[in-house]
Structure 1
Amino acid sequence: MASFIVVLFFLIIQVFANKVISSSSLGKIKWMSLAGGIAVSYIFVYILPSLHHEQDEFGDTAFELAMESELYFFGLIGIVLFYTVNKLAERHRHKRGASVEDRFFFSQTLLFFVYNMLISYIMFASEQPLEQLVFYGTAVGLHFMAVAHDMFRENNVKYRKYGRYMLASGILTGWLVATLTPPSPIVLSIVFAFISGAIMFNVIKNELPSEDSAHLPTFVLSAFIYSALTLMLKFFFDW
């Protein structure tokens, strides 16, 4: 039930992200600066240390001939894959024709379906206590919101009609897979490494606000406050 409440929160954010941003008194610039600050903090105080820990565990339990960088390689694959898709998107923007635009939109949406599914799978298959799931889920939820807003800006009609539901179904699919299948430590480590690289790229691309669309105090405060809270929770409660 606890995980279902969190996944329901993710689904609401994914489907209604742009309505939340546009109707909130906080404003789009502050919303994106808030999401960007927390996302950057999440990478440096959670993802990178966790990836290092997973690599150590992977080397101890997976193979006798394990090296010291296998999982970092899977993280690299995640970055390269999403960078390639982003470059293809930029190239297709200069081409005309509804068929080309439609084909690429659905290809990109399918990729983000898998992206959301893997993030959701990692969140719920790792068997975190409820308080950790809620705390880190806040950062993940804001990240979903930023990705949704970026896709909305690129093709708002198709995103409202199809995209947001496909991305939400990715979240739901990941939760179902995590709930209904026994977790494998090796699979979890590989998926976590891959999706960590993908998250790093998408945070840098979507959530580091440019100079003309950033509220600097919101970005800085959210980054340092979330980092301070994370470090305190790790220190006192061994998160």
Structure 2
Amino acid sequence: MPIGLLTLLLAAGFVLIHLFSRKMIFLDGTPRSRLLSGAGGVAVAYVFLRLLPNLADYEEELKGTLTYATNRFLEHHLYIIALAGLVIYYGLEQLAESSKRRRDAASQNGRPRIFWIHIGSFALLNLITGYLLVHGHFPHLHNRILFFVAMALNFVVNDWGLRNIHRSHYDRYGRWLLGLVILAGWAIGMTTKIDDVFISYLSAFLAGGVIMNVMKEELPKERQSSFLAFLVGVVAYSGILLAV
């Protein structure tokens, strides 16, 4: 199958998840659904066993190939980009929570601001995901499929979190925007090819963002998340990743 058609089908799969994840009403409620905790475990396993190790491969490939001082520094410190992704998304979450507490006196005025902070931050990760779907480090077909599965489950987790906070806004605007951004990332990937060093930056940033976004959904004690389900997701997908 041509790579363009394959990646388009996978991108369309991501879009369908955003559009129809709200139908998964069995994920609602407290304690937190074990399926969501398991999906988060899968995403985290993929980051630690695929995305982060790929950064080491990128570092090896890029040694001595860069000319600018900053790029030469980052050539050996791609993990700084991953750390930056985690810190940035932690900061954005704190900003959203702060805005939620203040609300500009009237709750109806504060809600859209929080919503757009959240949607904007997730849209950036979706754009990167759509692009990496085409140009990520995938030596074989199954590597691309494993990326798709992990990110698809990560999107389910993210969608649940966004709908839990912004139900009406997310259903009306958010899910459509996130779906369109995935396709935009795919289209950019099909029409342009950036240097490998920048692809490595995108992969590193995505890794940090995914870790932060999964853990912020799992850790709040009021969610009553299932550690066992999270562990099962981690162990099961780790086994698959190590076996192929």
TM-score (norm 1): 0.86
Structure 2 residue aligned with 1:148: 159
2:82 aligned partner? 75
**Counterparts of 1:162 and 1:55 in 2: how far apart (Å)?**
39
Q: Which residue of 1 aligns with 2:112?
A: 102
> 179-188 or 7-16, which moves further after superposition?
179-188
2:125 to 91, 115, 123: 115
Number of the residue aligned with 1:42? 46
Superposed displacement of residue 218, structure 1: 2.9
Cα displacement (A) at 1:212:
5.5
Which of 174, 182, 187 is the aligned partner of 2:193?
Answer: 182
1:89 to 79, 96, 100: 96
Asked whether the equivalents of residues 92 and 117 of structure 2 are also in contact (C-alpha less than 8 Å), the reply is no
- Residue 178 of structure 2 corresponds to 167
Instruction: Give the CA RMSD over aligned residues.
Output: 2.4
Q: What is the Cα deviation at residue 207 of structure 1? A: 4.5
Q: How far does the alpha carbon of each residue in 1:41-90 deviate from its partner, in whole angstroms, 9 at most, with x for none? A: 11221122112222222334224862464322222221221111100111
CA distance in 2, matches of 1:212, 1:64: 46
The worse-fitting range, judged by mean Cα deviation, of 193-202 and 83-92 is 193-202
Cα distance change on mapping 1:215 and 1:79 into 2, 3 Å: closer
**Distance across 2 between alignment mates of 1:69 and 1:206:** 31
Query: What amino acid does structure 1 have at the position aligned with 2:111?
Result: E
Q: CA deviation at 1:102?
A: 1.1
Count of residue correspondences: 231
Q: Aligned AA for 2:136? A: S
Structure 1 window deviating more from structure 2 (63-72 vs 115-124): it is 63-72
**Quick check: 2:52–2:204 contact (8 Å CA) kept in 1?**
no
Distance of aligned partners of 1:38 and 1:209 in 2 relative to their CA distance in 1, 3 Å threshold: farther
Whether the 8 Å contact between 1:41 and 1:223 is mirrored in structure 2 is: yes
Q: Quick one: percent identity of the two aligned structures?
A: 27
Q: Which residue of 2 aligns with 1:137?
A: 148
Paired AA for residue 106 in structure 1? W
Distance 1:113 1:145 in 2: 14
TM-score (norm. length: structure 2)? 0.85
Gaps of 5+ in 1: 234-239
